[in-house]
Chains A and B, each alone.
Chain A
Amino acid sequence: MGISRRSALKAMAAATATTVATTVGARETQAAAVAAPPDAVGMLYDSTRCIGCKACMSACNEANELTPDTALSGGLWHMPLDLNEHTKNIIKLYQGPKAGEHAFVKRQCMHCLDPACVGACMLGSLQKREFGIVTYKPELCIGCRYCEMACPFNVPKLEWSKALPKIVKCELCSHRIAKGKGPACCEVCPVGAVIYGKRVDLLAEAHRRIAEHPDRYIQKVYGEHEAGGTQVLYLAHVDFEKLGLPVLGDESVPSRVRNLQGTIYKGFMAPVALYGLLAAVMFRNRKKSGGAEAEEDKP
């Protein structure tokens, strides 16, 4: 027999126990509540006011200099079926089973308070910058698409058709906000279905509308707490899930990984300590076998 069963099992048990203990410890760590930046801006979209005119889609394409998605329309219309490399903002229609039951929903980046994409991005290409807007810097993007894997709203999209692709997503028209204007979609909406403002104000307005017309709205502002809270808020008459907005808990997506990393890595201490331990064991083993290995290596 080579290895003594006992020592092998002992070693494995020790290692497993340590790791399990730390992992379970990580699970029990409370997720800290995510605070919005004080000047956080966002949008409030009221599905009951939206008339589905799609002016916001045209305005978005124009303000962001995106080529329209004419793949399905033979060149005639900007007709995307989902957010994609040509579409940072889309209006979708939900049609319920009952006659006349329908609702529009506007989909774009949610500008989460603790975004999964920001937690994923290796070199910080996606980050929350001014006013809490999640913006993208292509010069730091390697195109690894971890942001796409991470986002629970499935927002970042890659330019699959290009040989030199970038990630495409709504950046709340931060280039316009810098000039004192709001996002193009909010500016062009003819009925004020989507409005721009500070998150605190929008949240207050949303609750005010619910209080004033309780029969018109689902009694919830979507985005107030979802995934730790988002800067784009939704009001609707039908279940948010039916509109394609996923059911999410209050815990932000990256907090889980941060807790795990924090517990296991403790900064960089744990890897350094482990390295020291491995080297020390190897030293001791070499001494124990009396340098026989060194003799073997002689020419």
Chain B
Amino acid sequence: MSAYSQPRPVGGKIFTLPVTLLAAFAGLAGALIVWRFLVGLGASTALNDGYPWGLWIAFDVVTGTALSCGGYAVALLVYILNRGKYHPLIRPALVTSAFGYSIAGLSVVIDVGRPWLAYKLPFFWHWNVHSVLLEVALCIMTYTIVLWLELSPAFLERARTSSNAMIRRVGQKWLPVARKSLLWLSALGMLLPTMHQSALGSLLLLSGPRLNPLWNTTLLPLLFLLSCIAMGYGAVVLEGTLSARFLGRKPETDMLAGLGFAMIPLLGAYLVLRLIDLAVRGQIGALFGFDLYSVMSLIELALFAAALAMVATDAQRRNLGNLFRAAILMVLAGALYRFDTFLVAFQPGEHWAYFPSVTEILVTTGLVAGELAGYIILIKIFPILAGEPQAAPAR
């Protein structure tokens, strides 16, 4: 039961200064992307044969999709654990997720060397069923479509109030269909991320001989899955708080505090599993060796622990500023874990070095800026955000 009103468009001027600036930055990224295709990867990125995967994979694809697990995480809460109270969070979370996964898909197209052959991916007679990356690619492609389809009710509701008669008819005809298929789509929308977020973790298992022992465990898929759901909640907290602040609406503290609580078992399980795994594999000594790898692992664990500590009590969770900071730490922790697994733990040899080029950095930040602008534009035009709460929540 929700004390909130129906979702409705936020309205207001679309191309405000922040949105225009974000869109401009995204335009710069677009220009750089065109340039990357003209000159090739060697000239535009700092990638090399020692580090063939860099920022665009480690951040845009791996971390970006984890940050976009808000839709997945909230769906688990609402549809599986049956907490209808969080229902108003689903649509905004889905928008973040849809954009995040679309950007991730775009980043893959930019990153691979021969994207014009990507049309062969659905050719199942060529599939190498043992390739984890194939599973990731197919899952992400399908999930991105599912995300946008899950948002279709929002678009169709808006269509119904359009001034154009034909659009109105389309909205009226397809909205019931969209609503009916929501259950099947939502189930798919929870299955697919379970599969590919854990698969993203399994990717580096194939680099086993060259993966630092502090990260080289068959628990990688599980650890990635746990941290991604927690990052999903963290991302929804950030997105909810910021959109409320910037749009002058009341923040949904009650719901967000609940998300903070949901993070606890995930963070707890992650820390416990990680430490037990290190102990079982005899890596506790390495953990305190205080070389680069030890220090990075310790920072990761510290960030996870700090985030856990900051959402431990009810009072802490209801302090929005504290919750916001905890969400930042949570997101940083998950992001650092992924960066470390893909770029730090991966050891091709001491003679190789990699740091993203300026082009890679600008394209990544430009794409994120585009995502932010897209989110803002969408929530202003379409019924995504629920209305302001009518009264303080009863419990």
Which A-chain residue is minimally distant from B123 (CB atoms)? Answer: A123
Q: Mark A118-141, 1 if CB is under 8 A from B, else 0.
A: 111111100000000000001111
Total A-B residue pairs with C-beta atoms closer than 8 Å?
221
Q: Describe B's contact surface by its main secondary structure.
A: helix
In-complex Cβ contact of B128 among A2, A11, A27, A124 (8 A): A124
Inter-subunit contact A150/B191 (CB<8 Å):
no
Q: Describe A's contact surface by its main secondary structure.
A: helix
A253-B191 in contact given A84-B49, A123-B120 (Cβ < 8 Å): no
Inter-subunit contact B127/A123 (CB<8 Å):
yes
Does chain A have a CB within 8 A of B321?
Answer: no
Inter-subunit contact A254/B191 (CB<8 Å):
no
**Which residues 1-54 of A sit at the B interface, judged by CB distance below 8 A?**
1-3, 7-9, 11-13, 16, 19-20, 23-24, 26-27
Inter-subunit contact A140/B266 (CB<8 Å):
no
Does chain B have a CB within 8 A of A70?
Answer: no
Does chain A have a CB within 8 A of B47?
Answer: yes
Inter-subunit contact A116/B43 (CB<8 Å):
no
Does chain A have a CB within 8 A of B115?
Answer: yes
From B200-208, B294-302, B354-362, B369-377, give the one contacting chain A: B200-208
Docked complex Cα distance between A116 and B2 (Å): 52
Docked complex Cα distance between A149 and B200 (Å): 14
A264 to chain B, nearest CB (A): 8
In-complex Cβ contact of B112 among A138, A142, A227, A248 (8 A): A142
Does chain B have a CB within 8 A of A261?
Answer: yes
Inter-subunit contact B118/A142 (CB<8 Å):
yes
From A171-179, A182-190, A210-218, A285-293, give the one contacting chain B: A285-293
Inter-subunit contact B42/A20 (CB<8 Å):
no
In-complex Cβ contact of A3 among B37, B221, B258 (8 A): B258
Docked complex Cα distance between A159 and B42 (Å): 8
Inter-subunit contact B219/A20 (CB<8 Å):
yes
Does chain A have a CB within 8 A of B48?
Answer: yes
Contacts of A237 in B (CB 8 A): none
Contacts of A73 in B (CB 8 A): none
Inter-subunit contact A275/B43 (CB<8 Å):
no
B206 to chain A, nearest CB (A): 4
Q: Mark B177-194, 1 if CB is under 8 A from A, else 0.
A: 001000110111011001
Q: Mark B6-17, 1 if CB is under 8 A from A, else 0.
A: 100000000000
Inter-subunit contact B1/A292 (CB<8 Å):
yes
A257-B126 in contact given A3-B81, A145-B52, A158-B41 (Cβ < 8 Å): no
From A56-64, A93-101, A162-170, give the one contacting chain B: A162-170
Contacts of A157 in B (CB 8 A): 49
Which A-chain residue is minimally distant from B186 (CB atoms)? Answer: A282
Contacts of B183 in A (CB 8 A): 279, 282-283, 286
**Which residues 219-271 of A sit at the B interface, judged by CB distance below 8 A?**
227, 246, 248, 253-254, 256-258, 260-261, 264, 271
Inter-subunit contact A19/B83 (CB<8 Å):
no
A282-B187 in contact given A150-B207, A253-B209 (Cβ < 8 Å): yes
A274-B191 in contact given A26-B218, A160-B42, A162-B40 (Cβ < 8 Å): yes
Of A20, A140, A150, A159, the most chain B CB neighbours within 10 A belong to A150
B332 to chain A, nearest CB (A): 22
Inter-subunit contact B131/A161 (CB<8 Å):
no
Does chain A have a CB within 8 A of B244?
Answer: no
Contacts of A26 in B (CB 8 A): 218
Inter-subunit contact B117/A7 (CB<8 Å):
no
Does chain A have a CB within 8 A of B210?
Answer: yes
In-complex Cβ contact of B133 among A122, A154, A161 (8 A): A122
Docked complex Cα distance between A227 and B209 (Å): 9
Contacts of B190 in A (CB 8 A): 278
Docked complex Cα distance between A166 and B204 (Å): 22
Interface residues on A, range: 35 or more
Which B-chain residue is minimally distant from A122 (CB atoms)? Answer: B134
Contacts of A286 in B (CB 8 A): 183
Does chain B have a CB within 8 A of A299?
Answer: yes
Contacts of A3 in B (CB 8 A): 77, 81, 83, 258, 261-262
Inter-subunit contact A146/B80 (CB<8 Å):
no
Contacts of B77 in A (CB 8 A): 3
Contacts of A163 in B (CB 8 A): 37-40
Docked complex Cα distance between A66 and B390 (Å): 72
Inter-subunit contact B115/A143 (CB<8 Å):
yes
Q: Mark B84-97, 1 if CB is under 8 A from A, else 0.
A: 11110000000000
Contacts of A248 in B (CB 8 A): 209
Contacts of B123 in A (CB 8 A): 123
Which B-chain residue is minimally distant from A283 (CB atoms)? Answer: B183
Inter-subunit contact B81/A119 (CB<8 Å):
no
- Contacts A16-B222, A162-B40 aside, 12 further interface pairs with beta carbons under 8 A come to A12-B265, A123-B126, A143-B113, A144-B111, A149-B204, A257-B202, A261-B202, A274-B194, A275-B188, A278-B79, A293-B87, A296-B6
Contact surface of A with B, Cβ cutoff 8 Å: 1-3, 7-9, 11-13, 16, 19-20, 23-24, 26-27, 82-84, 116, 118-124, 138-146, 148-150, 152, 154, 157-166, 227, 246, 248, 253-254, 256-258, 260-261, 264, 271, 274-275, 278-279, 281-283, 285-286, 288-289, 292-293, 296-297, 299
11 A–B contacts, CB within 8 A, in A order: A11-B81, A12-B265, A16-B222, A23-B221, A122-B133, A123-B128, A141-B114, A143-B112, A160-B48, A160-B49, A282-B187
9 A-B pairs closest in CB distance = A143-B113, A160-B42, A143-B114, A145-B52, A2-B258, A148-B52, A122-B134, A12-B265, A285-B82
